[in-house]
Chain A
Amino acid sequence: MKLKSKILAAGVAVALMSTAAIAGYKQPAPVDVDLVNRTALGDMVSAQQAKDEVTYIGCGIRKIQTGAGVASTGFCQARDADEEQFTCFTQDPELLAATATTGDFSFITFAWNEDGECTYIGVSTQSFYLTEKMVK
């Protein structure tokens, strides 16, 4: 009986180890908005799976034909679990291009100036932002 328990425990341990090996390295980045330093960061998966109904993060772009040409406005927005939030905007071509690189499972970080204009947009899409649940 004792031997059986040991075998069972060993089997469970091996099973857990193999699951971890399949899932790979994980590094979730919960959304955090820092209004003092005017920065926000977080990954899309952590935001979507947050245990609240307020957290989000993302970037986007709107292209509008005005009759005199196309006006493009990019934006990034985030709200964390503490309900600190910010939305920055940009019309800078380079930053507009950065907003277009966000993927479904991206880590996003952005910063803004006192006028609310985005001064920095970082996007990184890595396997370790995917959750174990999504990999299975």
Chain B
Amino acid sequence: MNWLIPLSATQTVLLAALGLKVVAIDMRTDDIAEAVKAQPTQVQTQADPAALSWDNARSASLSGDEMRKIIREEVAALETPARAASAPAQPVKPQHTPQQVKTAVTAVDREINYFRSRGAIDEVEMAGLQAKIAKLPLAERRAALTSLTKAMSKGEIDGWM
């Protein structure tokens, strides 16, 4: 019968320990429940359309429209670089320095004078000359065309435009 006293004491201690463990689990459960209650508020904040993206979205809180919006935005983001890469390159407008313009004008004048001294220009030469004239700025182009057509009209250069 002597062993009953230590057994009773041990049972009492174990029961006390079990009770404490239950209280601890209960407190932990309350904490988790409070955290879960706080979670929907946070998701609602993130559900702002401006903040929607795959990075911060919670599927449970997204409507079909919101998901479609995200998909559209993501697809558009993927397509944009590809579209930019496939677009034809826009011609870069060359900026000629006054010195470059002067050089080009001099070259065209020299060529017109050459044809004037020769007295004739053929179709191929005319095409080449007009291509050079076309690259001049508007005012210089007009002056070159005036010089060329006057020379042709006077009969100094036999040929056709």
Contacts and interface: CB of A to CB of B under 8 A. Distances in A.
A62 interface: yes
Interface stretch (A6-14, A17-25, A67-75): A67-75
B130 A73 contact: yes
Interface of B is mostly: helix
A88 interface: yes
Interface string B109-134: 00000000000000000010011011
Interface of A is mostly: strand
Contacts of A116: 145-146, 149-150, 153
Contacts of B160: 77, 87
A91 interface: yes
Interface string A59-96: 01010101111010101010000010111110100000
A74 B155 CA distance: 20
B130 A115 contact: no
Interface size class of B (residues with CB under 8 A): 20 to 34
B37 interface: no
Interface size class of A (residues with CB under 8 A): 20 to 34
Interface string A30-45: 0000000000000000
B94 interface: yes
A64 to B, nearest CB: 4
A75 B93 contact: no
A66 B131 CA distance: 8
Interface stretch (B39-47, B56-64, B79-87, B135-143): B135-143
A71 B153 CA distance: 23
Contacts of B152: 77, 85, 87
A60 B161 contact: yes
Contacts of B130: 62, 64, 73
Contacts of B153: 85-87, 116
A87 B149 contact: yes
Contact of A85 (B138, B141, B142, B155): B155
Given A68-B94, A87-B153, A89-B145, 10 more contacts: A62-B134, A64-B135, A68-B93, A71-B135, A73-B141, A77-B152, A77-B161, A87-B152, A88-B149, A91-B142
The 9 closest A-B pairs by CB, nearest first: A71-B134, A64-B134, A75-B161, A116-B149, A86-B153, A87-B149, A89-B145, A66-B135, A115-B146
